Structure formats: structure tokens, C-alpha cells
Chains A and B, each alone.
Chain A
């Protein structure tokens, strides 16, 4: 059985197998669409909260100055709910907010379909082809402080292997973190914001501490994925942009 990447000692080439290249391509495009549409959705309500629910009349964790909705006034007089013992109020909004969620949300969910289906295929093939085991799991000898420190220091001294070599130990750890932690968390917290899905799977609201906590975790895991993307692109450029891009796109190197 052909493994996804073959380390050819004579040529020092990474050969990405077809499904890895296809998955990488589809996931890259859907991630970009999710980032743009996710930002547009956040612009409609740039406030983040912790807990089961949160809105303009409850305290926010923090607010982002990314649209005219940031700190907008335009709330009518607060009216208390007189049969409640707490200080909950209602207020009507008289402000015309920025809201492009019609296309924003539908683009987000369409791109999420591509990401989730491709991700599932990638997961299944990754396990059965040995891609995760042989290409992405660090070797026992790589997993010690000295080896990891050496790898980290090499990154800053620009001594990392150029395109074509096997993945380094830090690179493997980060890839595994992205594949097995960040993507699952960002997808599951996304699903936790759905009223229909959480009706069937209420445990989602439990494990992510409520609807607004899930939204906040969704935001931070998306930011972490974007940071990964930035570092990933820097490393792709520093280790031979052309060779890397050709390898992941066509599986060939000149």
C-alpha cells in the first residue's frame, strides 16, 4: 500500500498522495471562505460573552471595533420585567445595524459543508493509509526536550531543512494539534450555536459551557487557526515556496 508521503533518500522528496493534495486544496479554499464570512458575521455583533446567553443588554467579555455596530447607541428606554426577581430588562433597538448575514451565514455554512465532508474523508483515509501514523506522528526518539529544543532553535537560526525533507518534530506536533484539536473544536463549537442540532445533542451545550461560550471558543479557535495559517505560509516561503507549492498542488518538484 502506497503511503501518502514517501521519503526518498536519494532525492529527499516529499510525495504528497492525491487525496492529501485534494483535501489540502478544498480545505484551504473553504477555510478562506469561512474566514471572510465569519468576519462578516462577527461584524453584525462584535461582542463576545461567556455563558449560556448574552446580548447588548448583558455584559460582554470584550468588544471588537470592527463595524459601526461597535458600541452603538440607539437603544430605547429600558423596561424591567416586573415579575422577575433580578434586574433583567428589555429595550427596543432603534439603530440600523450593519448586517450582511444573509449571504454571510449561508456562505459560512456552504463552506463548512465542504470543510466537514472533506475533513471526514481526510480523517478516514489518514487513519487507514498510515498517513497519520507514518508521516505525522513524531518518532519516539524525536520526543525529548533536547530534540524539540534543537528543532525550535533551528527554526530561529533558519537551519530547518528545505522543501522535500520529512516533517520535523515540531512541525508534526503542530499539524497534529491543528488536525485533531483545533479543527474539531472549531467545527463542534460552530454546531453548538445551532438551535436544531443542540436540541438533538444537548451535550454540546454542556461541554462548551453554553451557547455564547461556544461562540467565544469558536472565535478563539478560528484565531488560532489563522495564526497557524500565517506561520504555515511563512515556513512554506522560507523552505522553498515554489517547490512546496508545486509539491502540494501537483505532487511534483522541478
Chain B
């Protein structure tokens, strides 16, 4: 066998790639969601870091014309107002719906100076953004609708978000929840939508208020909102990662 004296080109390339990868990972590891040693979750983290590092974080997702609006399936784990759906049923939600959500409030807590509850009228006073955007589902389908809502950034600022805050978790009445980082939370198109296609949010699209994160896949856009928690540390409120799903879904 040939004795190696100098480094070959191939070795140089591999060594270079490996060290570049190691640098990239070690530099970002503190901010990355946990992988629990799962190689797929490491890939998810690589995608997250690469998208955060390589893409413009203020760029707006494509906005469409009214004529582009399509039919829109409602796909989730079931109606939270229906006692037959044991996994998602909420008595509180059923009662709120029974009264046309007049008593509904959204609570915001955690790393904010002024934790509290907001009624729909309180929220609407914070601002409004209307956008015709595409909902992209991980299943493969997509749908376009017009959404009107309050920018999440306006609510976070109003509640006095603290400097150490890093993640925002949003909890729905249907036992579903997701968290997003501050870049997506403060993205101009990230809104708390109360209106869909000019009408108040239909029951199965998350009435009375749902999240819209236009730079991620649909399952981040929590429906039937009841609570927002701002945290300094990473949390995965829906256990996406241990259940085998990517926490970040920019792709």
C-alpha cells in the first residue's frame, strides 16, 4: 500500500468540509433545539441554522391577488367543541363558543413586563394587517386565503416583552401548541388572525383567533388560541421533537 506523505486533494476537501461543519455546529449549538441524539433532528437543526443564516429574515412571503383565493380544507385533530373528540375536547371552549366567544380572552404570560388577558376588542386596538397568503401543509397541499389580524409583534410589544425573551409558545384550546423563535414572532406577516376571507374566523379554521406564520409550514399556525407564553429558554410545547417531527418547518 502506498504510504501517504502529503495530504491529497480529496482529503483536503473532506477535512475542510468536516471542520466547516463542526465550526457551524459548535457556533450555533447553544441556540439549536435539542435533538435527543436523533440524526433526523440533527438534520432539522442544520436546516434551521442554514435557513436562519442564509435567508433574509425580514423578507415577506408571497402575497397573492383576491382572484387567487382557493377553497380551503380544515384539517386538524377534530372540533374542540365536540365532546365526542376526546383528544381535543375542551369544556371551556364549548362554553365560549356557546356564547359566540363574547367572554373569550387571550392571556399572555412569561417573560413580559405586563402579563394579562386581552379581549378581542383589546387586541383589535393594537393594529391590523390584511394579507392574502398561501398556507402550505406538510401533507403536500396548499391553499390561499385572505387573513386579517393583529401582528403578533404588536401584542408582544404592548405586553412589554423582556430583553431575555427568546421564544413564544402559543397554546390552543384543542390541546395543541407550538413555539416559534423571535425572528418569526416579529416577522411582519406573523399575525393573530380573527378574520378569514372577509368574515370572522370560521369554527374549524380556529375561531375565534388563530396564529398565521407565513414563513413556516401550516402546522405551526396554532388554531383556537387561548394562551401565549413568552420564554427565555427553548420549549417544545407540543413535543414535536420527541414525537418525531421537526420543530422548525421553514421547508
Contact between chains at B71 and A89 (CB < 8 Å): yes
Contact between chains at B139 and A99 (CB < 8 Å): yes
A207 part of interface (Cβ distance < 8 Å): no
Distance in Å: Cβ of A235 to nearest Cβ of chain B: 27
A110 and chain B: residue at smallest CB distance: B43
B1 part of interface (Cβ distance < 8 Å): no
A47 to B198, CA, bound (A): 29
Given known pairs A109-B43, A195-B217, A211-B142, the reply for A92 and B204 (CB within 8 Å) is yes
Residues of A within 8 A of B66 (CB): 84
Max count, chain B CB within 10 A of own CB: residue among A84, A86, A200, A215: A200
Residues 9 to 58 of chain B near chain A (Cβ within 8 Å)? 9-10, 13, 17, 39-44, 46-47, 51, 55-56
Residues 197 to 248 of chain A near chain B (Cβ within 8 Å)? 197-200, 202, 205, 211-212, 215
Q: Range of interface residues on chain A?
A: 35 or more
Distance in Å: Cβ of B121 to nearest Cβ of chain A: 21
B250 and chain A: residue at smallest CB distance: A196
Max count, chain A CB within 10 A of own CB: residue among B42, B61, B71, B144: B71
Binding-face segment, B92-100, B165-173, B229-237, B239-247: B239-247
Contact between chains at B202 and A90 (CB < 8 Å): yes
B63 and chain A: residue at smallest CB distance: A202
Contact between chains at B199 and A57 (CB < 8 Å): no
A18 to B7, CA, bound (A): 13
B41 and chain A: residue at smallest CB distance: A106
Binding-face segment, A8-16, A37-45, A147-155, A169-177: A37-45
Binding-face segment, A48-56, A130-138, A157-165: A48-56
A125 to B8, CA, bound (A): 14
Residues of B within 8 A of A198 (CB): 61-62
Residues 118 to 145 of chain B near chain A (Cβ within 8 Å)? 134, 136-144
Contact between chains at B55 and A199 (CB < 8 Å): yes
A88 to B207, CA, bound (A): 19
Contact between chains at A53 and B55 (CB < 8 Å): no
Distance in Å: Cβ of A23 to nearest Cβ of chain B: 10
A23 to B140, CA, bound (A): 30
Question: 24 A–B contact pairs at CB < 8 A?
Answer: A18-B8, A45-B141, A47-B140, A53-B70, A54-B70, A54-B141, A55-B142, A57-B70, A57-B143, A58-B71, A84-B69, A86-B69, A88-B197, A92-B79, A93-B74, A106-B40, A113-B46, A121-B17, A194-B250, A195-B136, A195-B216, A195-B250, A196-B250, A199-B59
Interface, chain B (partner A; CB < 8 A): 8-10, 13, 17, 39-44, 46-47, 51, 55-56, 59-62, 64, 66-75, 78-79, 134, 136-144, 196-199, 202, 204-205, 214-217, 243-246, 250-251
| Given A55-B137, A55-B141, 11 more pairs with CB closer than 8 A | A45-B137, A57-B71, A88-B72, A88-B197, A91-B71, A93-B73, A101-B138, A101-B139, A105-B138, A195-B134, A196-B216
